[in-house]
Amino acid sequence: MKNKAYIALGSNVGEKEENLAQAQKHIAMIADTKITRTSSIYQTVPWGKTDQDDFLNQVIEIETEFSPLQLLSVLLNIEINMGRQRKEKWGPRIIDLDILLYGEQTVDEPELKVPHPYLCERLFVLIPLLEINPDIVLPDGTNLKEVLIRVKARTDNKSIPNMLDLNKGSHIDTPKSGSRL
């Protein structure tokens, strides 16, 4: 049975845009898994550890027959194969692949928490997630559009992700608090 999952992709080392593209190619090659939607790419200031280069982030929707833990294992292998080294929490990384949501399931295992524990705090995943599925709600019924409005209201403007216009190499302003996504 196919399950819908949402994966956050992030990179702030090397050719960031190419790293995101390579990660998508690896994910597309996973057996019994299909990428069904892809968000725009957003440039984001670092979260947690701020003395590093900006990130490029995006979210993809997939359909997969893997369990959440099997999917995590595959994603961690992709990170390793792409050269990810886990040296410090929230430090620079060539690629970061996080399971945000997995169907309507919740997972509470030592190695995996779904929904992602920081999903409702991070604009760099909320904005692209709502771009590809504006009606999404958490398994507990929490409306992510409402979460986005609250998080934007308490965030300074420089921390709001900018959508990249990859055809022109410029930025497109993202909607501010209270505006429609």
Token output for 102: 């997995």
Active site residue 54: no
Given a contact cutoff of 8 angstroms between Cβ atoms, the answer to whether 179 and 160 are in contact is no
- Determine which one of 84, 154, 156, 173 is catalytic: 84
- Determine which one of 96, 108, 156, 165 is catalytic: 96
DSSP, collapsed to helix, strand or coil, labels residue 110 as coil
Segments in the chain forming alpha helices (H): 16-28, 68-81, 123-132, 144-153
- Using CA atoms, how far apart are residues 17 and 15, in angstroms rounded to an integer? 6
- Determine which one of 86, 98, 150, 173 is catalytic: 98
- Determine which one of 37, 93, 135, 140 is catalytic: 93
Active site residue 98: yes
Active site residues: 84, 93, 96, 98
